[in-house]
Structure 1
Amino acid sequence: MAKVHRTPDDRFAGLADYPFDPRYHLLSDGLRLHYVDEGPREATPVLMMHGEPSWSYLYRKMIGPVVEAGYRVIAPDLIGFGKSDKPTDKGAYTYAGHVAWMREWFEAMGLGNVILACQDWGSLVGLRLVTAMPDCFAGVVLSNGGLPAGQEPPPAFAKWRAFSKYSPVFPIGGILQRATTTELPDHVVAAYDAPYDTRASKAGARIFPSLVPLGENVEVPAQIEAWKVLETFDRPFTCCFSDGDPITRGGDAMFRERVPGARDNPLHRTLKGGHFIQEDDPEGFVGAILDTARRAGV
């Protein structure tokens, strides 16, 4: 196995508004995956999946309200992010590998009747879980994400991909700040920086934009197959994209046209904010989740 970095626990001490007990699952290849698990174990699970370069801290404003509404909230950190282990070789990261890691964890958790809430890479991985195990999901809430399958990258994304690949500095917290319309307090910016105490620990965050299957990419055939499953998914599928994200703006149209559960769904809405809507409009995202769960009857 490639060299793996494990961020020291003291980097996460005293994070504001993130009081959740850490939980860990050891994957078959020895990597340790961290997740938040709050609320009654017997309740309907809401799976909140983060993107890049964030981690489960992104959902800190949403976990409590969804639990208070009677649900179990599970928020994992992707391998390479947050409190999960971080291979330091960029070559250790592939799209298929991430889907496999998360599927192994998901199956070990024994989850069913799940409402998926996802954004950014959380949708790239999360929607692949849905299409691999559609019977395990009662509904989907998608914000500022997608399931690309060989399209040409938007200009804003092409710039981001080049920055992540070539920039000599990669300030995670600063990147989150620039992709929100909310002015993040210094301690919040620091919390997004917390998982990355070494330059090498940012390998996953650095490589992720290059793994998105836009243009020619090894994962395009798998994406096409995943879309075939989505085109049969008739459970509630709600889009709640923001009005201020230059990368994903308009990306909901494809889902509303092609996914049966998204057609004639009265719950679609536009949220106020930038790319990381969990910071800019967490209440709106929570509302979409709860409405979708009710529509799904869970």
Structure 2
Amino acid sequence: MSSPGYSLRQLAYFVAVAEAGTLAGASATLHVSASALSLALDELERALDVQLTVRRRAHGIRLTPAGQDTLRRARRLLRDAGELADAAGGEAGDVAGTVRVGCYTTLAPGLLPATLGRFAVRHPRARVEFVEGPQDGLQRGLLEGELDVGVLYDHRLDPALELTGLSSNTPYLVLPGGHRLAHGAPVHLAELAEEPMVLLDLPPSSEHALGVCLAAGLSPRVRHRTANPDTARALVGAGLGFSVLAQPVPGTRTHAGDEVVAVPIADDPAPLPIVLAWSGQVAPTATARAFAAAAAGDDEGGRSHR
């Protein structure tokens, strides 16, 4: 088998330039001269016999379609190389290396701590880097190779993602303490037709909550929108409307000290499935598979349902 005409260093320089968007930005990050980076890009393009970038002095670096595909592959190769180096220092079968995890913002507090704890106990030589964010950004990160695995709601996900089910959350109603319907019994959403709504404006939670309302015969009048579930609860506690959330939140007090009450919805709302997701175009690393098993609470991981 002949060796490739490019080096891991060239790939690393290419990834750094692509992520920075400019030679100067990558130069500052890597502490390598811009001329050395430019030369590495030229050599990589010659080795691959393809144009990867369009370099314009005043507008930075733009990837060609071939460059975008190469970026995804280069990230994977670099991670595999790093995992190989880490594993070489351990025992046979030992999981090492770094796994990059993306977690939907509202799911992170409830799911990440226990998963990270299990993973650390099982694989002390491995590392986890995680980011929290909205679902559309996390999907892009998975498909572009920036993330190895994501913890997401299974709601309008890209079909290019492979999924493994974890659990689900059932939407519930959030009312201020003392509200006429805050007595613990399930409530039909139509009973709130005359009251304003506080919407957690963080897709897919917002889309799902509005869909739950419409399915129950309620066309909500949204008074306030927020991307922060704590702020949504605080606005409800201040008497500014009701909200529909999916992620359970412990406690009955907001940051301001107001009382809020979680009430079941009597209209049998559809649950939101929680899944592990990764790009179907790239096989997950051993470290990513081990993280998936820890998230699923088992030793082998769940089965893909896509």
Shorter chain as denominator, the TM-score bin is under 0.3
Over alpha carbons, which structure has the higher Rg? 2
- Larger proportion of helix: 1
- Larger proportion of strand: 2
Q: TM-score, normalised by structure 1?
A: 0.28
